[in-house]
Amino acid sequence: MQRLQRDRVGITDGPASPPTGSLPQHLWSRARPLFWFKTVGISSFTALFFVAYLHLLKHPSGPVTTMPQIWLDGRIPFSPLALPVYLSLWVYLSIPPTLMTRRSEIVGFGWRIALVCLIGLLVFWFWPNAVPPAHVDWARYPGMGFLKGVDAAGNACPSLHVATAVFAAFWIHHQLPTLGLGRRTRWGNGLWCLAICYSTVATRQHVVVDVLAGGLLGLGVAWLTHPVTSPHRTHRHA
């Protein structure tokens, strides 16, 4: 029973040890264990997800619904400068498993975030949907044009970009105290997540309704599956 409880919340055995050495050294001490397991696992998960995602994108199961825009969409201008933030999701998602030191923690995180993706893919299967035309000359923005060529306007709501970012933010928020990091870093984590959410609209990959639905999906699964929590506190790095 105790083993099940530990796996459910994803905490480490025993009290957390205070960080030793500099912050980069401490981060490396967390990233180094099971390095190849993490690397292969993250890469394999991403590849399998994109196989399913792109299949549904290119072969919708029925008529495609165009998602509506609301007043807030008109307040968020198109910005190609948001593209690096949009792409930073793939770094952001790798943070929680990279900082885990036990195989059971990594696997637990994997099946939980897989649940987020599965729910989104099921929605896309039963209710194909897409964003409305952006009326942007993508030829003027080579990077954006490449993104639009790979990830077309379909599979819009809920935004899995937002759902997985919010899910990861929840986990990172609860990991930071075990790294000896305080309130400012938590604010930074939240701002990064919000920037990714904003970038999905600023790059015209999604509309605000998609973002709201994705946020609810990510937060709901994170809450219901009890992401990593730790009752212990460590000394903070300055």
CA dihedral (107, 108, 111, 113) positive or negative:
negative
Residue 214 included in any domain:
yes
Residue 12 included in any domain:
no
Token pair recorded at residue 20: 């030793």
Residue 16 included in any domain:
no
Residue 236 included in any domain:
no
Residue 8 included in any domain:
no
Q: Look at residue 235 and tell me whether its pLDDT is greater than 80.
A: no
Token pair recorded at residue 107: 């696997």
Residue 219 to residue 25: CA distance in whole angstroms: 31
For the chain, the domain total comes to: 1
pLDDT for the residue numbered 86? 96
Residue 160 to residue 231: CA distance in whole angstroms: 30
Question: Where is average pLDDT lowest: 20-24, 49-53, 88-92, 126-130?
Answer: 20-24
Residue 84 included in any domain:
yes
Reduce the DSSP state of residue 154 to 3 states and report it.
strand
Residue 49 included in any domain:
yes
Q: Look at residue 178 and tell me whether its pLDDT is greater than 50.
A: yes
Residue 7 included in any domain:
no
pLDDT for the residue numbered 140? 87
Q: Residue range 117-145: average pLDDT?
A: 91
pLDDT for the residue numbered 186? 92
Domain of 150, in residue numbers:
23-224
Question: How many CB atoms sit inside 10 A of residue 174's CB?
Answer: 19
* Spatial CB neighbours of 15, under 8 Å, sequence gap ≥ 6: 232
pTM of the model: 0.86
